[in-house]
Chains A and B, each alone.
Chain A
Amino acid sequence: MTQERKAVALVSGGLDSMLAVRTLQNQGIHVEGINFYTGFCVEGHTQAIRKQDREKQKRNNALWVAEQLGIKLHIIDISEEYKDIVLNPKYGYGQHLNPCLDCKIDMVSRAWQWAQDHGFDFVVTGEVMGQRPKSQRKETLPLIARQSEVEDRLLRPLCAKHMPETLPEREGWVDREKLHDFHGRNRKPQFALAREFGFSEWAQPAGGCCFLTDETFAKKMQDLWQSRGERDYELDDIMLLKIGRHIRPKPHFKLIIAREEGENRYLEGYRRQFAHVRPESHGGPFALIDGRVDTQDDLELALSVIARFTQGKSAPEVTLSYCPEHGQPAQMHTVVPMAADALPQAWYR
Chain B
Amino acid sequence: MTDQVLDMRLKLCPLPVIKTQQAIASMGPGEVLTVICTDPGATHDIPAWCRVHGHELVSIETTDDEFYIRVAC
Residues on A lying within 8 angstroms of B by beta carbon are: 37, 41, 43-45, 47-49, 54, 57-60, 62-64, 66-67, 71-77, 239, 265-266, 269
Q: Which 7 A-B pairs have the closest CB atoms?
A: A44-B13, A269-B10, A63-B48, A48-B41, A60-B45, A44-B41, A58-B41
Q: Are A67 and B51 in contact (CB under 8 A)?
A: yes
Complex Cα distance, B41 from A77, in Å, reads 18
Instruction: Report B-chain residues with C-beta under 8 Å of the C-beta of A239.
Output: 12
Instruction: Report A-chain residues with C-beta under 8 Å of the C-beta of B15.
Output: 37, 77
Q: A72-B52, A266-B10 known; A48 and B39 CB under 8 Å?
A: yes
Q: Are B48 and A48 in contact (CB under 8 A)?
A: no
Q: State the Cβ distance, B26 to closest chain A Cβ, in Å.
A: 15
Interface size class of B (residues with CB under 8 A): 20 to 34
6 contacts between A and B (CB under 8 A): A44-B41, A48-B13, A48-B39, A60-B14, A63-B48, A73-B52
B28-59 interface code vs A (CB 8 A; 1 in, 0 out):
00000000001111001100110111000000
Complex Cα distance, B41 from A75, in Å, reads 16
Q: Are A44 and B21 in contact (CB under 8 A)?
A: no
Chain B's closest residue to A57 (CB) is B44
Q: Are B17 and A75 in contact (CB under 8 A)?
A: yes
Q: Are A44 and B12 in contact (CB under 8 A)?
A: yes
Q: Are B13 and A66 in contact (CB under 8 A)?
A: no
Q: Are B52 and A41 in contact (CB under 8 A)?
A: no
Q: Are A74 and B21 in contact (CB under 8 A)?
A: yes
Q: Are B17 and A63 in contact (CB under 8 A)?
A: yes
Give me 8 other A-B pairs in contact (C-beta within 8 A), A45-B13, A48-B13, A71-B52 excluded: A37-B14, A41-B14, A43-B14, A44-B45, A59-B48, A60-B44, A62-B14, A77-B18
